[in-house]
Amino acid sequence: MKSPRVVRMVLFKHGVAYLERSGPADGAFELSFRLDEMNDVLKSLSVWVARGGATVGALAFDKPEDPEEALSRRKLKLEPGRALEGLASSLRGRRVAIASNEGEVRGEVVGFDNVPVGEGAWKMRLIVRSSEGQLSLVSVDEAKTIVLEEPASRADLAFLVDRSRAATAGERRLVRVALDGAAEDLRVSYVIPAPIWRVSYRLALVESDVMLMAWGIVHNPADEDLDAIDLTLTTGQPVSFVIDLYNPKSVKRTVVEETSRAAAAPTQFERAPVAPAAPAPRAASAGPAGFAPPPPPAMSAPEPMAQAMASSAQGATNYADRGEFFEYRVATKVSLQRGGSAMVPLLAKRLPARKERIWRIGAPPAPDLVLSFDNASGAVLEEGPAVVYADDVYAGEAMVPYSARDTTVRLAFAKDLAVRCKASSRSASIVTGVSIGADTLVEETRYELSHTLRADSDHHEEVDVVFEVPNIAGRTWDPSGPTPYESTANFHRFRAKAAAHGHVELAPIERWPGARGVHSTQLSAADLQRWFEGRFLDAATYGALADVFNHQHAASAADAEQKRAEREREEAWQKQAKISQQLGVLKEGGPEGELRTRYVRELSAAQDVVNQCEQRANLHRAQAEHERELARQKLAALVKQR
């Protein structure tokens, strides 16, 4: 019988569609799906009786095998043009009853033969063993009916027809719904893959308002005509995934041999009380209580395009929250041809709006013409392209971002070439204080970035220009200059008015704190002098820090003398090494003996230099440590006083 027709479809934004069928049913019926839909269908298919006394049975479906291969394995594949021969060959050894004009022949098919009856003409004759030792020849041309008498033969014929139908269906797969009895209203629901629905906007400027109209673009995901269905578009994104339920999944099992044991009486188990049957799922309602289209917008002086847009979509769609989702329910029935698509009106709303010129630092000179409005439409706006009209004429295009209700929407749709913007900046660092620690002095600094924002206008009237400056964390604005009227996560916005055929300049100053640590050993006279002249140090502190600096300077001078002594000692050691090398090759007597004596005197003098350098290095090392200790003590005393 014919399956219930599709009455409702819900399209989601993540690649699936929910379809619901409804209608009377009496007995089993079939549903046809594409091969790539079967996994989602097996995951989601539900069948229930909304009204009536029918009972739903098993939901059978075609096996995921190649029907041609299945027929070949059973020797039932019939070649085109030779189907009768193939069928006769498959009946060998099977019992049949053949009725013809000459009467009825019953028996087992032995085979067939093609007998020539003229030039290029043949007749097929079946060879039937009607009884033991008796063969009958039956002309297939004269046979009226051939009855298969064995159940196995009839099953093979049913399999042949079923698989042949599957082979000719290509990528189609059938699901057979067993139904016992008649149902006044049978519901079938399932999910299939589907292209996402999308939205396209029209915006008509009307003085200080904008007429916002949204159209939903939908595609028919089902491989059939959808006639007069309820269509719902939802912004929700439920979790959805692909899992292969269609192809069989096998696991390797362990082979276990049973043990021999004596027979035992079967164990008797008590029957548990039967729980009452769960009620059948309720059909989806047409909408929640109080679900109604928004009231028409109030329009005092309707303009041609805006009025046409409003009237064309008036009451076309109902929309409301559905928990975590937001739905657009098309109020009129929608028909989609197989493989077809459509645009359906979603909303039309007149909203207060304003046109702005916004320029961002780093962008080309011409600012963007921006249409700004608060989304007071009562609907969630999905992301999609928008065409803007001004004075009933195309003015530009924009991309509407995903916008919740009551959020501000800004759409840049054109460039204002009559305005030119530019920006420059200069930086400075200002010392704001000095703090003294146990071994480090911290110079506190305020960094400033002074911006100059300028707009030149060729308009005949005064125009507003909005400058966008990057929003960098930790920075503030000098309150003595211009401050932003609003800030976003990434930008600060400044508003200015450019005079007719004139210009406007803003000079906001950006501030942020900084610091530079100076270790007491790296303290310089220039730092002290600069801090003192900047009045960050009083005279007593300056004097105490000067003493710390002098001791650190003396320690540094002692370090330098120590290193000089150590270098001289190293040179003396190297001289000793060379002399020792010469002494090792000279003889005791003769001229070499005299030379040897002179080298010995030089070696002794070099040792005296080594000893002197060692004493000087130790002295300067002790002096440096003493000066550093004095510096530490004075700095600690200064910190304690403060």
Q: Give 382's DSSP letter.
A: P
Are 170 and 313 a contacting pair, CB within 8 Å? Answer: no
Question: Of the given ranges (145-154, 368-377, 510-519), which has the lowest mean pLDDT?
Answer: 145-154
Give percent of the chain with pLDDT exceeding 70: 81
Q: Is the pLDDT of residue 5 over 90?
A: yes
Most confident of 323-332, 398-407, 580-589: 398-407
Give tens-digit pLDDT for 64-88: 655 556 555 555 555 565 566 667 6
Residue type at 641 in one-letter notation:
Q
DSSP H helices in 269-318? 304-313
Give percent of the chain with pLDDT exceeding 90: 45
Question: Rounded to the nearest 5°, which phi and psi values hold at 425?
Answer: -155, 155
DSSP H helices in 478-589? 525-533, 539-583
Which helix (H) or strand (E) segment is 396 a member of?
strand 393-400
- Candidates 31, 37, 16, 69; CA nearest to 246 is 37
**Residue 99 CA: distances (Å) to CA of 105, 110, 151, 201:** 7, 17, 19, 72
**Beta strand spans in 306-383 (E):** 317-322, 325-330, 334-336, 341-360, 368-374
Structure tokens at 33: 């799906």
**CB atoms inside a 10 Å sphere around CB 139:** 16
Q: Is the pLDDT of residue 543 over 80?
A: yes
What pLDDT is attached to residue 106?
Answer: 84
Q: Is the pLDDT of residue 624 over 70?
A: yes
Give tens-digit pLDDT for 375-396: 999 888 999 999 999 888 999 9
Classify residue 141 by burial, with Cβ atoms within 10 Å: 0-12, 13-18, 19+.
Answer: exposed
Are 186 and 16 a contacting pair, CB within 8 Å? Answer: no
**CA pair distance 301, 307, nearest whole angstrom:** 9
- For residues 72 and 579, which has the higher predicted lDDT (pLDDT)? 579
DSSP H helices in 108-231? 151-168
Give tens-digit pLDDT for 467-477: 999 999 999 99
- Candidates 373, 204, 364; CA nearest to 299 is 204
Q: Is the pLDDT of residue 104 over 90?
A: no
